[in-house]
Amino acid sequence: MRPWIRRLGRGLAVLVGVAVGAALLTVFVANRQTPEHQEADASATPVRFIEARSLEFRLEARGHGLARPAETWQAMANVAGRVVERHPELESGTLLPKGTLLVALDPSRYELAIAEAEAELASLAGELAQLEAEQENTRRLLGLEQQALALTEQELARIERLAASGSVSSSRRDEQRRSTLGQRQAVASLENTLALLPARREMLQAQRERAAVRLAQAWEDLADTRFVAPYDLRLAAVEVERHQFVGTGQRLFQADSLEAAEVEAHIPIAMMRRLLGAILPDEPFGQGLDLDERLDFSAVQAELFLVGAEGVGWSGELVRVASGLDPATRTVRAVVRVDHPYRNARPPDRPPLQRDMYVRTRLSAPSPESRLVIPASAVHQGEVWLVDAEARLERRAVTVAFEQRDLAVIEAGLAPGERVVVDDLPAAIAGMALAPRRDEALEARIAEQALGEGHREAQP
């Protein structure tokens, strides 16, 4: 068969196939049926919710700090001397009661100084007594001499009258004049002696006062040779040994009081501002000193917890806020005092609050007004998920005033009574159907946490 005939046959077969396919497609399109749309009911997503409520709230401020004794004794030698007595338990870490003699220096030189000052005082007292006797004697002599002078003056006047009438010679008159002048001189001498006696008395009294000062100083120096515990204490560094000679100003030992301990807690500014705002009155302040008087620190509850030891803690009181911010952390320095930190201590389970212990500090005070509180986990990047009246999901933006532990305090965007979803949904689509269930147990826990009771730590 010729080649062109074969090509023509294949072309006709292709055309016939295309025509048949087009005809079948036309028939199918003409006879097609519209598919039925069946909308399946979407299944409701089960969720837990709580009812938003305004609750009584306890504001907290938390920080960390190192413990230190409220009072520390740096024992320094005020006088020089050789150590003649040292307590046998004068070692670092020893607890000693009030009144215990810890160190004694050689008192001999100060006892001699006391004896010398007392002898000088006795000598000056004798001189003053002698001066009083001299004054009394001089007054008596002066009285006698004044009487003799009066007689001499009378005799001189008589002689002068007789001499004027020529009854007495001039020599007799001159002799009487010399006698009168001598008596006048004797009276003047005694008067001068009496006039000088007060100055002598003042000089002796000044010498007596100087001797009394030396005596008092000698007694002070003698007292400084004995180092007696002024309170119940725990020894820290000890730098003195028996028979050692110590000089003035040399440190002997350091001791910490057992009466009280302090912790200077470093607390963020925002937390401390909220806490102080709860105890500050609304009216403006007057003078700067008035601020400290009107801060009611007694309304603040202070608790300390030892870091790294669960269940070990102490109750204290906020006594002051240190001046200025910490230069490194820019935090507020709140000072908490714990009285009798060694009371009821039972190491190692219940140790006392000692120097350089690292502790957590929690300060709390009741908020002046109730707060709208929800779990912090219910806030999703500034939004909360709500269950609306038709049991569908509503997404709403809210403003969080602050977070405290696991709670978020809502400032705006949420009203009391609204239902807040507390579950974490894999896909939170607005309008999706929900199967809500109220979690009353969680609501009770939130109320406890708002009062600071949900995270109470065990204390000794």
Task: Return the number of other C-beta atoms located less than 10 Å from residue 345's C-beta.
Answer: 14
The residue type at 48: R
Angle subtended at Cα 14 by Cα 9 and Cα 15, rounded to the nearest 5 degrees: 95
Specify the DSSP class assigned to residue 3.
H
Q: What is the mean pLDDT of the chain?
A: 84
Q: What architecture is the 109-223 domain classified under in CATH?
A: Orthogonal Bundle (1.10)
**Separation CA 297–CA 387 (nearest Å):** 43
Q: Note the pLDDT tens digit of each residue in 336-379.
A: 999 999 888 888 788 899 999 999 999 998 888 899 999 999 99
Distance of CA 406 to the CA centre of its chain: 30
Terminal Cα-to-Cα distance of the chain (whole angstroms): 115
The first and second tokens of residue 455, run together, are 């995270």
Instruction: Answer positive or negative: Cα dihedral of 364, 370, 376, 380.
Output: negative
The residue written with tokens 């749309």 in the block is: 37
- Residue 49's SS3 state is strand
Give the HSE-up count for residue 342: Cα atoms under 13 Å, Cβ half-sphere. Answer: 14
Q: Note the pLDDT tens digit of each residue in 95-143.
A: 999 999 999 999 999 999 999 999 999 998 998 898 889 888 888 888 8
Please list the residue range(s) of the chain that carry CATH number 2.40.30.
Answer: 260-366
Q: What is the CATH number of domain 260-366?
A: 2.40.30
Per-residue pLDDT, 290: 46
The residue written with tokens 């190192």 in the block is: 66
Are residues 105 and 221 in contact, defined by beta-carbon separation less than 8 angstroms?
A: no
Mean pLDDT by 10 residues, the chain (460 residues): 56 60 60 47 81 91 92 93 93 92 94 93 90 87 86 84 79 83 86 86 91 93 94 92 92 93 92 84 52 70 90 89 82 92 83 91 90 92 91 92 90 92 88 91 91 56
The residue written with tokens 């305004």 in the block is: 54
pTM tops 0.85: no
Taking the C-alpha atoms of 173, 179, 183 and 186 in order, what is their torsion angle to the nearest 10 degrees? 140
Question: Pick from 264, 305, 354: which is nearest to 459 by CA?
Answer: 305
Select 46-56+370-450's CATH number: 3.10.20.30, 3.10.310.10, 2.40.420.20, 3.40.50.300: 2.40.420.20
- Residue 214's SS3 state is helix
Please list the residue range(s) of the chain that carry CATH number 1.10.287.
Answer: 109-223
The strands making up 53-55's β-sheet, listed across from edge to edge, are 53-55, 371-375, 407-412, 399-404
Please list the residue range(s) of the chain that carry CATH number 2.40.420.20.
Answer: 46-56+370-450
